[in-house]
Structure 1
Amino acid sequence: MITKIRICGYRIYKDFTLIPNAKLNILVGDNDAGKSTLMEAITLGLNGRVGGRGVLEELNPHWFNTEQVEEFVKLRKAGKKPALPEILIELYLHDQAELQVLCGAVNTDVPTNACPGVFLRIFPNEEYQDMLDEWLKDPSPLLPVEYYNCEWRSFADRELTKRPRALSVATIDSRTVKSSAGVDYHLRQILSDHLETPEKAAISLDFRNIKAGMTEGALADVNGRLATLGASLQAEPIALAMDQTSRTSWESVVIPHVDRVPFAMAGQGQQAAIKISLAMKRHSERVKIVMIEEPENHLSHTSLTTLLDRIEALATDDQQLFVSTHSTYVLNRLGLDALHLLNRNKVSKITELKPETISYFQRLPGYDTLRLVLAKKVVLVEGPSDEIIFERVFADLFGMRPMAAGIDVVSMRGLSLARCLELCAAINKPVAVMRDNDGIDPAELRKSVEEWLDEKGRGLFIGAVADGQTLEPQLITANGEPHLRDVLGITSAANLLTWMTREKTEGALRIANSEKILIPPQYMQAAAEFILSV
């Protein structure tokens, strides 16, 4: 299992460290937050290859961190001599018997850390120093990767030529299931782990015999005719024969079928589900690390539920899972306690959620926890009408909508306030919560959630009981009944409070669209000022 990941200079990661969970890791972040790049780096460190090809075959200038490269070029042109940019990926591993061959202290940890691990380093090749010196006379952001070298070594400082057997990894990218070639590299790797060595040898031998049979059978008559053509220099006979080299090994032509349909022609959701299941099967003990990118892609809600059930059932303590997702349903179902919130070089990890809180959100998988997680700041309200009116109040006060200030207004929709505040506290999310007093002293209401409040980042705002128990009477108290009737377009024939209570959403929409002045309830204004300032 991986105990620590350090990535320096690779793509968006200038200097990044992640301490993963031993079993399940859910990677969440905005677009371009680094989820896919993190998985790429893990695969690179474990395999020393990219999609089955050598690193130097795939290396290009865009692998290097843009910020570091720009700083390097700037310093060089200023007459200074910084070192050329490099890439370093270090994977620290759990100290167990089968990994002792990788154990050593050749890593960047301070103080010295002797443990199993591997690292991949891409750096300038000294053999090309004269060419590098020439290039350095007029450097550009496009690094001369032709003059770079790559080393893949263990922490014991031993060169690695192939992936250690104890570090097998399965990668399933549900976003872009590659089906044009029949079976992609990752699936071929997963299937290989399900076959024993004698089985592979038997298949290979039979396939070789089949190809030889083609040469002696259907091709024999053709070869008899070709032999009479005299095309070669010394009149040696020319003939056709089946290719017996490794380029045409059985792995490249034997493909799985699903219900008698070639795997490549199955639906993309089906392909992703099969790859995930094969990678996680209990008897596939060789696959220690499974990485799944966006399992929700190409799946209906029902199919996604089935797939998540399968992931939960197949998960064992012997495998470490990394799952990236943009789905609240996936996050809630698999467990908020496994969340890593990525934002380029930063990562936030939930460490203090109570087990009952995790279970609470798992029972409510439809609640949009991702909005809470991804927003820069959050305002929690009780329902849609509160959300609509707060948007209007915020715009009146500050001349912009909350989202323009990085603030997401989210309805709790009857959810436990304590659970929502606990989640915000666990990820250190700035939050302002507004709630009705329901005729109860606000000081009493605060007591049940006091442990999650923080005047510097998490505040609870409740209207005074004297001004009304819910939002509607609070608005009447703040604006006066005649003015609010004018804002809402309600005649004196109707009871204002009764109408507003019955038509909550309609009333909120009228207030939001009205050009007349609205005086916000004091607690709502205080919440807006608080969340903008933290």
Structure 2
Amino acid sequence: MITKIKIQGYRIYGDFTLLPNKDLNILVGGNDAGKSTLMEAIGLALNGRIGGRSAQEELNPYWFNKELVNQFLEDCDWDDNPALPEILIELFLENRPELQFLCGAINSDRKTNACPGISFKVIPNPEYDEELTQWRINPSALIPVEYYKIEWRTFGDEVLTRRPRQLAVATIDSRTVRSTSGVDYHLRQILSDHLEPVEKAKISQHYREIKESMTSNSLGGVNDRLKNIRAPLDNQVMALAMDQSAQSSWEGSVTPHVDHVPFALAGQGQQASIKISLAMQRLSEQTSIVMIEEPENHLSHTSLTTLLSRIEEAAGERQLFISTHSAYVLNRLGLSSLLLLHRGKASHIETLDPDTVGYFQKLPGFDTLRMVLAHKLVLVEGPSDEILFERFFSDLYGKHPMELGIDVMSMHGLTLRRCLELCTAIDRPVAVLRDNDGEDPEILKETVNELLETGKRELFIGAKEAGRTLEPQLRACNSEESLRKILGVTDRASLEKWMSREKTEAALLIAKSKEAITPPPYMAAAAAFIHG
């Protein structure tokens, strides 16, 4: 298992360290947060390959971190020989007997850390020192990768030429099928791992015999005619034969079928599910790492539920890295495994009460992902509170909350304490609004006081004397005449009863009205706090 990941100079990651969970790691972050790049970096260090091709073939200037490149260009203005940008990816591994051949202390940890590990470096090639010196005279943001080389070594400083077989790894990108045949490099690797060496040898031998049979039988008549064609120089005999080279091996010709339909013609959801299921069912006694990108893609709710059940059942001793944009995936697999990525940084979720984790797992439809990704958060009790808070905030500051990165969410009956515990764990600035329900607000605050923090997480409750819920709070600070005008309630009807009965309708009418309306003091205070 991977115990630590260090990335320096690779794409979004200038100087990055992550201590992953031993079993499940759920990677969450906004667009361009670095989820796919992290998976890519792990794959590079484990396989020395990217997208099925060797790293040296795929090396390009855009691998280098932009900030480090820009710093290098600035250094060139006052230094004739600044250090060239480099890339380092290190995987520190669990100290297991079968991984001792990877053990050593040749790594970037300041204190001596002798452990199994793999180091992947992209560094200047000393053979091109002269060319690099010339390039430094007029450098550009495009690093001359032609003058770089890749070093792939163990922590014991032994050169690696292929992935150690003790590190079984599967990568599944369910967002897309990477080849026109529908069977990409990763799927071929997974399928190959399900075959024993003896089986592979037998298949390969039989495949060669079939091709040889086609050469002598199906192509025999054609070759008899070609004997009389003296096209080659020196009148050699020309003939057609089935290719027996490694480029035409059986792996490139065998494709899976689903219910007698070629894999490439199956739906993308089916393809993604098959790739993930096969990867999870791989039989290996060695360290096994599975990386899955966005398992929710192309799947209906029911199919996603089935797939997640398979992942949970087959996880075993494997270490999983799963990136997702789905709150359902996050809730179902467990909030305690969350790794929040943002601008090349990673944050572990602080320890959550197991009961709270189980609570959200039982409510997988609640959008915890919005809570996790919001810059600032306002939690309210129901839809009418949400609608009205947005109206009052807009009146006060001339912008909707979302324009300022503030997400307003209804808790939909979830317990306040559970939501506050999650906000505390992810260190999210939050304003929580609730009704007093006839209780003293100070007593209500005491029940969650240890989860509150002045300036970070604050609770706002309507004054007891103004009424139990939002509707009487509104009536207490606005004239009855103005409310009747906004809501279209005649004098013959009871305003109190109508507003209590038609909570959401009243909120919508107020939100659309161009008439001025005064917010309840606790809502105005919450808006001022979260606006900052």
TM-score, with normalisation over the residues of structure 2?
0.98
| C-alpha contact (below 8 Å) 2:29/2:373 kept by paired residues | yes
Greater displacement, 14-23 / 178-187: 178-187
Residue 373 (structure 1) aligns with = 372
How far the C-alpha of 1:520 sits from its partner, in A, is: 1.3
Residue 508 (structure 2) aligns with = 509
| C-alpha contact (below 8 Å) 1:269/1:298 kept by paired residues | yes
Matched, 1:244 2:244: yes
| C-alpha contact (below 8 Å) 2:194/2:282 kept by paired residues | no
1:413-424 correspondence to structure 2 within 5 Å: 413-424=412-423
* Unmatched runs of 5 consecutive residues or more in structure 2: none
Distance across 1 between alignment mates of 2:182 and 2:367: 37
Distance across 2 between alignment mates of 1:398 and 1:532: 8
How far the C-alpha of 1:231 sits from its partner, in A, is: 2.0
After superposition, the C-alpha distances for 1:277-321 in whole angstroms (9 at most, x for unaligned) are: 1111163445700011011111111111111111111111x2001
Residue 330 (structure 2) aligns with = 331
Distance across 1 between alignment mates of 2:474 and 2:328: 36
- The alignment of Structure 1 onto Structure 2 pairs a total of residues equal to 532
Distance across 2 between alignment mates of 1:80 and 1:443: 66
Residue 210 (structure 1) aligns with = 210
Distance across 1 between alignment mates of 2:28 and 2:290: 17
Residue 490 (structure 1) aligns with = 489
Residue 395 (structure 2) aligns with = 396
How far the C-alpha of 1:489 sits from its partner, in A, is: 3.4
Greater displacement, 110-119 / 511-520: 511-520
After superposition, the C-alpha distances for 1:318-352 in whole angstroms (9 at most, x for unaligned) are: 20011111011111111101111111221121131
Matched, 1:452 2:444: no
After superposition, the C-alpha distances for 1:403-422 in whole angstroms (9 at most, x for unaligned) are: 12211000000001100000
| C-alpha contact (below 8 Å) 2:190/2:282 kept by paired residues | no
Distance across 1 between alignment mates of 2:42 and 2:379: 37
Residue 11 (structure 1) aligns with = 11
Distance across 1 between alignment mates of 2:358 and 2:324: 19
Matched, 1:128 2:135: no
| C-alpha contact (below 8 Å) 1:170/1:287 kept by paired residues | no
Matching residue's letter, 2:507: A
After superposition, the C-alpha distances for 1:205-243 in whole angstroms (9 at most, x for unaligned) are: 101111111111111221121111122222221111111
Matched, 1:529 2:528: yes
How far the C-alpha of 1:179 sits from its partner, in A, is: 4.5
Residue 357 (structure 1) aligns with = 356
Distance across 2 between alignment mates of 1:80 and 1:383: 64
Amino-acid identity (%): 64
Residue 470 (structure 1) aligns with = 469
Query: Secondary structure of 2:235's match?
Result: coil
Matching residue's letter, 1:495: S
Residue 223 (structure 1) aligns with = 223
Distance across 1 between alignment mates of 2:299 and 2:61: 36
Distance across 1 between alignment mates of 2:272 and 2:282: 18
| C-alpha contact (below 8 Å) 1:194/1:284 kept by paired residues | no
Distance across 2 between alignment mates of 1:177 and 1:411: 38
Q: 1:448 to 1:282 in 2, by over 3 A?
A: farther
How far the C-alpha of 1:56 sits from its partner, in A, is: 1.5
Greater displacement, 226-235 / 367-376: 226-235
How far the C-alpha of 1:182 sits from its partner, in A, is: 4.0
Matching residue's letter, 2:489: I
Residue 439 (structure 2) aligns with = 440
How far the C-alpha of 1:24 sits from its partner, in A, is: 0.5
Query: Secondary structure of 2:432's match?
Result: strand
Distance across 2 between alignment mates of 1:456 and 1:156: 50
Query: Secondary structure of 1:130's match?
Result: helix
Query: Secondary structure of 1:273's match?
Result: helix
Matched, 1:266 2:256: no
| C-alpha contact (below 8 Å) 2:193/2:282 kept by paired residues | no
Greater displacement, 141-150 / 227-236: 227-236
Residue 184 (structure 1) aligns with = 184
Residue 76 (structure 2) aligns with = 76
Query: Secondary structure of 2:158's match?
Result: coil
Matched, 1:425 2:424: yes
How far the C-alpha of 1:462 sits from its partner, in A, is: 0.6
Matching residue's letter, 1:374: L
Distance across 1 between alignment mates of 2:272 and 2:472: 53
Residue 384 (structure 1) aligns with = 383
After superposition, the C-alpha distances for 1:452-471 in whole angstroms (9 at most, x for unaligned) are: 11113111111111110000
Distance across 2 between alignment mates of 1:499 and 1:411: 22
| C-alpha contact (below 8 Å) 2:168/2:284 kept by paired residues | no
Distance across 2 between alignment mates of 1:31 and 1:194: 35
How far the C-alpha of 1:495 sits from its partner, in A, is: 1.2
Residue 104 (structure 2) aligns with = 104
How far the C-alpha of 1:484 sits from its partner, in A, is: 2.6
Residue 67 (structure 1) aligns with = 67
How far the C-alpha of 1:34 sits from its partner, in A, is: 0.5
Q: 1:272 to 1:26 in 2, by over 3 A?
A: same
Query: Secondary structure of 2:444's match?
Result: helix
1:24-103 correspondence to structure 2 within 5 Å: 24-79=24-79, 81-103=81-103
Distance across 2 between alignment mates of 1:281 and 1:233: 55
Matching residue's letter, 1:93: L
Greater displacement, 162-171 / 343-352: 343-352
Q: 1:464 to 1:73 in 2, by over 3 A?
A: same
| C-alpha contact (below 8 Å) 2:177/2:183 kept by paired residues | no
After superposition, the C-alpha distances for 1:135-164 in whole angstroms (9 at most, x for unaligned) are: 111111111110011000011111101101
| C-alpha contact (below 8 Å) 1:279/1:287 kept by paired residues | no
Query: Secondary structure of 2:166's match?
Result: helix
Distance across 1 between alignment mates of 2:236 and 2:177: 48
Matching residue's letter, 1:72: F
Query: Secondary structure of 1:141's match?
Result: coil
How far the C-alpha of 1:423 sits from its partner, in A, is: 0.4
Query: Secondary structure of 1:32's match?
Result: coil
Matched, 1:159 2:159: yes
Greater displacement, 488-497 / 253-262: 488-497
How far the C-alpha of 1:261 sits from its partner, in A, is: 1.0
Distance across 2 between alignment mates of 1:502 and 1:512: 18
Distance across 1 between alignment mates of 2:285 and 2:157: 27
Matching residue's letter, 2:404: A
Distance across 2 between alignment mates of 1:13 and 1:179: 28
Distance across 2 between alignment mates of 1:134 and 1:494: 87
How far the C-alpha of 1:392 sits from its partner, in A, is: 1.3
Distance across 2 between alignment mates of 1:523 and 1:182: 57
| C-alpha contact (below 8 Å) 2:380/2:408 kept by paired residues | yes
Matching residue's letter, 2:448: V
| C-alpha contact (below 8 Å) 1:181/1:264 kept by paired residues | yes
Matching residue's letter, 2:231: A
* Unmatched runs of 5 consecutive residues or more in structure 1: none
Query: Secondary structure of 2:157's match?
Result: coil
Distance across 1 between alignment mates of 2:242 and 2:526: 76
Matched, 1:291 2:301: no
Query: Secondary structure of 1:107's match?
Result: coil
